[in-house]
Each structure stands twice: as C-alpha cells, then as structure tokens.
Structure 1
C-alpha cells in the first residue's frame, strides 16, 4: 500500500496495565503496517505492577517500541507528551485495554488520506478477557443500545460516516497545531472534547467500516461501577471546564436525568404527596423495560438473566450518581 510509506507514530497511554498490556502489544506486533515506518510510544504513568518491565522487554527486540515517562499519570498529559515527542506524519492513539486486527493501522492511515478528514476512527467492539456468565452479561450490556445509548462507534457502520466523535483516533500531526492539543484538565472525556473542538472549528471526523478495535471491559461489578461513576462525574466537569455544553452530547446526561426523575419527586412529595406518582412511573417504566430486555437477551443469547438484570441498573445508576456528585462538587471549584 502506498500510504504505508507514511511515517506513523502510535501513542498508547498506560498505567498499571499488566493484565492487558501483553495482549495489546501482541496485536500491535501483528499489524501489517511496515515496521520500518512506525514508532510505538507507550507513555507510562510510572507503573508499579510490572507494566514498564514488560514494555522494556518488548522494546529490546523491537526497536520501534519506546517507553516514555508521564509522572503526572493523567491521560491527556500522556497524549500531549507523546504527540510532542512523536516523529511521524500521522498520529494514532491506542488504549491498552484493547486489541487491534492486523489491518488497523493501515486502514486508518489509508482512509485518513483518501477522505481528507481531520480525524478517522473505527468501531469499538466490547469483549472480556475471561469469559463466564457474569462477564458475558457485562459484555452484552456494554454493547447494548439500551445500556450505552446510540453511540455510533459502539454500534458500527457499513459505510464511511461523518460523526461527532470516534474512539481513540488517527490524525495528521498538524491537526493539533490547528485545533489545539488535548485539554490537560480533563481526567475523562478528553477524546470527546477534542473531537467536538475539531468540529466547532470546521473540521471533519469520520467513522470507517474497514476495521475495528476490541475493547476489553472491566469484569467486576465494582470495576464497572467505579468506571462509570467517574465517567458520569467528568461529564459535568468537562462542561464546566470547557464552558461548552457541546463538548458532549445529550446521551451523556440521560442517566442523570433518570436519577433526578426519582430524587426530585421523592423530595417534593414531602410537601405534596401526589407528586410521588412521577417517581413511581419513572421507576416502574424502567424496571419493566430492563426486565423485558434482559428476558429477551437471556433467551436469544443464552445469557444469565440475573447478571443482566444486575448490570443494567448498576451501569445507569453509577453513571447518573457520578453526574449528580459532579454537579454538587462544582461549588468547591474556583
């Protein structure tokens, strides 16, 4: 492929990823992009679990792999360190929790050149490292429209589509000079915010159908709850810091609205009891919906109804609660 002559810099922020990093690196090594035209920068937040040692072992036999320090550990800082240190004409961001098919790099670079877009990405499928009834239920919920909303990159496309955001990303390096680097204040949502900024600046972001990535989800209820709590919290903080509601999409605030539909009527019912009907209607409708969805999924895909029925509310409530706490925490931020 002609476009494989382009020098490519691949940046992967990491911190204590020993559980996932080996599989991630293996999928990188099998890429069909010429190794002579590539550099892989693992920007590490000073891991203490063996991640650094493993990366260094791979680097000894693969000189295009490099370990770069990120003492502040924050992902957007890692990305900015990697971008500024990179030597390539094109930059791709990876996640250590994901696996990539052999054509991932070449497909993104090829389509970036053909489309002339500012950012190109591919669908992100969800899987789990260890498969059992619980983890397979978690995987299904995190892939389900009712679980994660109508995010196009999670659902995939049949043809190239212009979208508001993509997972990870593939950019020409000059895009960062034109639209700005990653916002280092954002612990979460930094990719979404950057993509929204590109769109506001007149840029174009495309989701392609030629390849995909496979995200390896957290496999415990505690891990799912914590991750989505932080996602929900940083939805609010992202809007606060950027002063742009358009930094995110309406779907990011649906769990908060659902939670408020329960809390506010319950509170107001202390003064006017009949308003409790609003809470009961909202909660009842939700329970009926997830019961039907879980029942159908358990039959169709032979999954555990119990774990499905546990995961949907956990996902939504932790996300909504995080957004609620984010709102409350704003008064502390100067």
Structure 2
C-alpha cells in the first residue's frame, strides 16, 4: 500500500509551524500518511517546543528530529527516518490544497513518480499573481521548492537525493535531475505559499537577485558561489 511521509525542514519557524501542522492533520487522512517529520536545523525561537507539543499529542504520527543546518541536509535526514514509500517535501510556509494526499496518491497510481502542485502567493501583487499563474505549466523554468515536491523513495535515492553542497538552490538542483529523467508532473491544484521574503527584501530587488542566481548557475557557478551571493544580497529575517 502506498503511504506518504511528509518532511518539513525548519529553522526558526515558530510563526508558521503550528498552523501548518494543524492544517496538514485536518486536511489529510491518516490512512494515507505514515508520519509527519519535522527536521529542525537548530531553531532557538520556540519552534521545537511547538513541534514537541504535536509529537506528544499525536504520538508517532508527528516526529521531531534534529539535523545540521541546511535544507538539503535536513531533508536528506528526514528521508532516512521516513517509513512511507512516497516522500513529500514541504516548506514551513507552504500550504498544499485540501486532500493533497489523495491528489499525490492518484498521480502515483498513474505512474507519475514525482511532481508538485501549482502555486500561488498569499499576495495580490500583480507580479506574484503572474509568477503563480506560470506554475501550472510543466516547464523546468517554472519550478521551485516553494511548490513542494512529492517523489517515490526509490526514485529519490536513485537520483542521489539532495546535493548537500547546496545551502540554497537544492530544490532546483534535484528537480533538474527529475526533468532529465522525464519524471515530473504538475498537479493542477493550488498550493499557497508565503510572500514574506518579497516583503522583507522588496519585490523587484529580490526578483533581480533570484534571476541573477539562476543565471550564475546556468553559467556554471558552483554551490559555494551561489550561497555566498545569496547571503550577501538577500535578507533572511523571517516575518
């Protein structure tokens, strides 16, 4: 029987993790979900306390594990603890559609072993609405980690999991591998993600830096170069 392990990497996400965990539990079926694994990279804001509460309340259904900081490392560690044969990687500020588990399992039954949902931001800004509109298309350029990712465990390990040399761009790197294997589908249901980083950094400034990172990668920049640029130009403060 196909079952999903949800893996959520976190670092100081106290403002999001409670509402996300509540939402996931209320809008999916335990019949379909093996466990929800929250992988903490060293939070000091109360995130772990919130997850501990859910872990106690829901027993083994919600789990907290610790890891070295870095989303790639955290997600790989989460995969090691997963008992489901389908991995579902989700950012702490992204909310999948109701009954997301059924949508994912339906795609698996069709033979689609990896994919995401189309995405919209929690903002009415025309640019973000346009960016969200493009995510309905199954084009490599329209992908990103905020859209979440489901993948069979066997395929995940076949392509090597997340490359831990990346501290940013790890989602894009793995998704690129999936496109090369022609293993990707976009589920035409809306996931809602936060626009907080655009609010913190400024709409056009952040978009410019994101485009620059993609161009640098296309020109051959390594993971260290991308991370150095990101840390220099993008404000990481949560909101």
Aligned to 2:50: 54
> Is the 8 Å Cα contact of residues 163 and 205 (structure 1) preserved in structure 2?
no
Q: How does 1:19-30 map to 2 (within 5 A)?
A: 19-30=15-26
SS in structure 1 opposite 2:13?
A: coil
**Structure 2 Cα separation of the partners of residues 220 and 84 of structure 1:** 33
Between Structure 1 and Structure 2, the one with more strand by share is 2
Matched, 1:43 2:39: yes
Q: 1:207 to 1:31 in 2, by over 3 A?
A: same
Q: 1:45 to 1:96 in 2, by over 3 A?
A: same
**Structure 2 Cα separation of the partners of residues 227 and 67 of structure 1:** 32
Aligned to 1:308: none
Q: 1:219 to 1:74 in 2, by over 3 A?
A: closer
Consecutive unaligned residues in structure 2, runs of 5 or more: 224-228, 234-239
Map Cα deviations across residues 169-194 of structure 1 (whole Å, 9 max, x no partner): 11110012221111112222212211
> Is the 8 Å Cα contact of residues 11 and 82 (structure 1) preserved in structure 2?
yes
Q: How does 1:146-225 map to 2 (within 5 A)?
A: 148=131, 152-153=134-135, 156=136, 162-164=138-140, 165=143, 167-200=147-180, 202-209=181-188, 211-218=189-196, 221-224=199-202
Aligned to 2:109: 113
Q: 1:69 to 1:207 in 2, by over 3 A?
A: same
> Is the 8 Å Cα contact of residues 119 and 133 (structure 2) preserved in structure 1?
no
Between Structure 1 and Structure 2, the one with more helix by share is 1
SS in structure 2 opposite 1:6?
A: coil
TM-score, L = length of structure 1: 0.59
SS in structure 1 opposite 2:44?
A: coil
Higher normalized contact order (CA 8 Å, seq sep 6+, divided by chain length): 2
Aligned to 1:240: 221
SS in structure 1 opposite 2:156?
A: helix
Map Cα deviations across residues 229-279 of structure 1 (whole Å, 9 max, x no partner): 76345432574227xxxxxxxxxxxxxxxxxxxxxxxxxxxxxxxxxxxxx
Q: 1:36 to 1:103 in 2, by over 3 A?
A: closer
CA displacement at 1:27 relative to structure 2: 1.2
**Structure 1 Cα separation of the partners of residues 117 and 75 of structure 2:** 19
Of 65, 68, 86, which residue of structure 1 is paired with 2:65? 68
Q: 1:188 to 1:219 in 2, by over 3 A?
A: closer
Q: 1:25 to 1:94 in 2, by over 3 A?
A: same
CA displacement at 1:37 relative to structure 2: 4.2
**Structure 2 Cα separation of the partners of residues 125 and 113 of structure 1:** 26
TM-score, L = length of structure 2: 0.80
Map Cα deviations across residues 42-67 of structure 1 (whole Å, 9 max, x no partner): 01111111111001101111120001
Consecutive unaligned residues in structure 1, runs of 5 or more: 129-135, 243-321, 327-334
Q: 1:41 to 1:229 in 2, by over 3 A?
A: farther
Map Cα deviations across residues 4-26 of structure 1 (whole Å, 9 max, x no partner): x5221110111101111122112
> Is the 8 Å Cα contact of residues 127 and 215 (structure 1) preserved in structure 2?
yes
Q: 1:89 to 1:42 in 2, by over 3 A?
A: same
Matched, 1:11 2:7: yes
CA RMSD after TM alignment? 2.8
**Structure 1 Cα separation of the partners of residues 90 and 2 of structure 2:** 18
